[in-house]
Amino acid sequence: MLIISLWFCLHDHGAIPSQAGEIAPFFVQRTNEQPDDFRAWTRLGTALLERAQLSGDHRAFRQAQRAFESALAAHDVYAPARRGLARSLAGRHAFKEALVVARQLAISNVPDMEDVLLLGDLHYALGDWVEAQALFLSLGDLADALLRRGQYALESGHVENARTIFEKVLTELDDHNPRRVWCETAIALTYSEVDPNKAIELLSHITDTDHATWAQLERSKLLIELGRAQEAVVILNGLVAIHPRPEPQLMLVRAWRSMGLDQEAQALEDSVVRNIEHDVAHGEWGHCRVLANHWIEQGEHVDRAIKWLEYEHSDIRSDAEGTALLAWAHHLNGQDMEACKLITPLLASQRGAQFMLRAGLILAGAGRIVPARHVLAQALSREIRGHKPELKQARLFMEQPLNIKVSK
């Protein structure tokens, strides 16, 4: 579900691509001279939003949020500012707050394509896949809607269907559309289980500097899994040089560890932790999840992972991805009842194959055998990328006889 954050990176929302650093100073000066210029505030917010999306700097999401709020203070029904505010909140993982803003936008304006997509993205992030799908289907064969439906199919484990959708969309996108990079990456990932070498080859052709980070991270991950960590290190060093953000840094930690460079790996991980601690001290939780997920995938520091996830988990901040990850961390820590409380409310609307796999194992750990078997049967009927240890556990559980005693 990390994918959904990318939807908030793909839209232009009026920005001039890759010029955020040049645009921002001009509009800072303009807003200082004319603090009631809501259009200038909106353009400043848009530039800051693009900077945040490209760099991964969550402080820029907050700065963008403040700029859009200033625009709305001067003109409270200006739709581009409301849309930008919702996206900047989503970038900070404040999805429930973002949904409130997006709904206000839909009420006060005749919803256009962007507004429907935004509402769908936010419902998707909050775990309401049924509502999200209904919104995306309402847009027919629009490329952006098809991309999301393809993502839904991929996350749900219907991989061949997803590939068909992505290939159809790709034929409709021109060479300069940033969505093309996303689409090519998604197509490559549909091969990651059945033919990882083909996935790596396809990902190697995606080199757009501004928009290829996800592709190269996935390529590095596959290389590490295939024992080709040295190749991954070259890619990751390049990513870190461009955008020193936690995702490539922590993947580099993984690569170095697989090569036996434990001292270097630990030093880099400690540096990432210090940087995230600094962000948390300044009210930014966005990278807590990245660090927690790294520890969980490495099978270490689960207590610390729970601590970091709980930093950002609250009624106003919680989303489906964060809640599910926190539940899984509790499960790994032997706290299945706590995990069950977190995961159960999501079962009615979540459709992700990975989610269902982990939810089924949590239910099994909590002793809820019948619902666990029901959920795991659905998960195992689909193609799940990665998660081999969980798949093994699920299959072993399903092979056990179901003994139900009926009291007289």
Does the pLDDT of residue 276 top 50, yes or no?
yes
Does the pLDDT of residue 322 top 90, yes or no?
no
- Confidence at residue 217, expressed as pLDDT on a 0 to 100 scale: 93
Output the CA angle 187-188-189, nearest 5 degrees: 90
* Annotated domain spans of the chain: 1-139, 321-408
Q: Which of 280, 279, 291, 278 is nearest to 246 (CA)?
A: 291
CA distance 121 to 158: 20
- Confidence at residue 369, expressed as pLDDT on a 0 to 100 scale: 94
Predicted TM-score (pTM) of this structure = 0.83
Mean pLDDT of 195-220: 88
- Confidence at residue 218, expressed as pLDDT on a 0 to 100 scale: 94
pLDDT per position as a tens digit, 165-187: 999 999 988 888 878 888 999 99
* For the chain, percent of residues with pLDDT exceeding 90: 53
Superfamily of domain 1-139: Tetratricopeptide repeat domain (1.25.40.10)
pLDDT per position as a tens digit, 63-101: 999 999 999 999 988 999 999 999 999 988 888 899 999
- Confidence at residue 408, expressed as pLDDT on a 0 to 100 scale: 41
Mean pLDDT of 17-37: 67
CA distance 302 to 310: 12
Place of tokens 């500097």: 209
Mean pLDDT of 147-160: 90
Does the pLDDT of residue 196 top 80, yes or no?
yes
- Confidence at residue 23, expressed as pLDDT on a 0 to 100 scale: 58
- Confidence at residue 312, expressed as pLDDT on a 0 to 100 scale: 73
Who has greater pLDDT, 209 or 116? 116
* For the chain, percent of residues with pLDDT exceeding 70: 89
Four-way CATH pick for 321-408: 1.10.10, 1.25.40, 3.30.870, 1.20.1560: 1.25.40
Mean pLDDT of 223-238: 96
Contacts of 277 (CB under 8 A, 6+ apart): none
1-139 and 321-408, same CATH topology: yes
Is the distance from CB of 358 to CB of 328 less than 8 angstroms?
A: yes
Q: Report the mean per-residue pLDDT for the chain.
A: 86
